[in-house]
Structure 1
């Protein structure tokens, strides 16, 4: 069985077909979060720290750390702050240090800037997942040497110099190319986690069927683990969490082994726990039972406490 090993300083997580689904928490990402980007510009990491703790408490196996920000207020005094290639190599290691000080789960270092990826690798304890390489020639030449140098697994996104194809056969071919090029660097297939690119179901009716088929092919023909941006499938639609809760178990049954997603949403997390149980990746249903253990109402808790306080042996009358 293909197993991708990721580690923090004290904890190991395994991505694999015979393992519980790996939930990679997505919330530490200033891209599209103006408030978070503004806080980071002021060296305020309180939201990052809160998001790290909350995601782990809600069941994240790993945390994605994305440094995609530019600092608009600092641009006036230094125009370099308008450039991700300047900002991200400075921001990424600080994000990682802050998160590592609070939680012990493995990390996923996420940036389109190679300098930020390497800065993150230098700061990260353990064996993180690198996010990401694509089939673009320039990207392959920049990222794969880092993967080899630091001996880390990498997310391989199935687009190349021609862009993102709607043809699943083309996306499979790009993934195969990346796996083959990685092998040229001495990087084994078990250290490649392919993102087959989930399309929005609202724009492409076959998007779900495509990704389920692609995941099966990637598992059966290339023997690689897979991941995705889980929320992409529901983009622009109502009740996105309902769609996500249906999509994820179907993807898991097709062979998908991880997803970058929001673990704070209970509907999707419950669906994942159910899928783990049904796929025999939750021994004896222990996690399902733990998560669904009845919670005592406040009055019952107080009554139980009183009972314990008065429940000693009675003294016999003299």
Structure 2
């Protein structure tokens, strides 16, 4: 059975077909968050720290750390700050260290800049997930050696030098190519987590059906775990969280084993907890019962993050499953 093992310093998360759905928190990402990017430029990590703590309390099992920022105010004095290749290798290890000082869950090191990926791997404790490799030849040659060198699992995104195809057959072929090229480097299929690329349902009516079919094929034919940017499916639609909350259990039923998403949204997390229960990935319903207490606290007036943090404090944990010795 395919098991992708990700570790922090002391705790382990397993992504697998018979494991609870793995929620990878997406919020530590300055791309498209101008306020966060401006804070990071001023060496202010308060939002990053808050996001780390809240996401883990709300149910994130892994935290994605994306260093995709440029520093606009510093550009006037040094134009290199307009270049991600200059900024991200410096920023990534600082983000990793800050997050690790607060929460003990595995990390997902996320960047398009190879230097940032390697610096993040150097700073990370345990065995992080690397995000990402694509089917593009240059990316394969740059990233797969890092995966092998550091013995870490990697997210494989199903696009190549021709771009992102709307044809699911093409996306499957790209995923297969990545798995085969990884094998050439001695990287096993269980360390590949494929992102089949979720398209917006508002722009492509068959997007949901496509991804469910792709996930089944990736599981049955390639034997790999899968992930996605869950909120992509609802892009441009009203009441996005309702769509996301319907999509996630359907994806889980099709065989998807993880998602990069916002765990601070109660409706999506409730859907995942219920899906885990229904898929027999929550023995004796313990996680569902615990989550229901958080929901009860929200009904009494607490915000979801407040209620989740209070429940976590009562349990005395920092998140994650303790590694077996």
TM bin (shorter chain)? over 0.9
Q: Which has the higher contact order (CA 8 A, sep 6+)?
A: 2
| Counterpart in the other structure of 2:49 | 49
- The 5 Å alignment of 1:13-28 reads 13-28=13-28
| CA shift for structure 1 position 291 | 1.2
Long gaps (5+) in structure 2: 302-325
| CA shift for structure 1 position 292 | 1.1
Cα distance in 2 between the residues matched to 1:12 and 1:182: 23
Cα distance in 1 between the residues matched to 2:300 and 2:140: 56
Cα distance in 2 between the residues matched to 1:93 and 1:52: 15
| CA shift for structure 1 position 272 | 0.1
- The 5 Å alignment of 1:197-208 reads 197-208=197-208
Which structure has the greater CA radius of gyration? 1
1:138-163 per-residue CA deviation (whole Å, 9 max, x = no partner) reads 00000000000000000000000000
Q: Detail structure 1 runs of 4+ shifted over 4 Å in the superposition.
A: 294-298
- The 5 Å alignment of 1:1-318 reads 1-293=1-293
Q: Aligned pairs, how many?
A: 298
| CA shift for structure 1 position 297 | 6.4
Cα distance in 1 between the residues matched to 2:284 and 2:167: 40
| CA shift for structure 1 position 30 | 0.1
Cα distance in 2 between the residues matched to 1:167 and 1:132: 21
Cα distance in 2 between the residues matched to 1:239 and 1:136: 35
SS of structure 1 residue aligned to 2:219: helix
1:7-38 per-residue CA deviation (whole Å, 9 max, x = no partner) reads 00011000001000000000000000000000
1:252-283 per-residue CA deviation (whole Å, 9 max, x = no partner) reads 00000000000000000000000000000000
Long gaps (5+) in structure 1: 299-318
TM-score of the two chains, using structure 1 as the length reference: 0.93
| CA shift for structure 1 position 44 | 0.2
Cα distance in 2 between the residues matched to 1:190 and 1:177: 15
TM-score of the two chains, using structure 2 as the length reference: 0.91
SS of structure 2 residue aligned to 1:109: strand
| Counterpart in the other structure of 1:313 | none
CA RMSD of aligned residues (A): 1.1
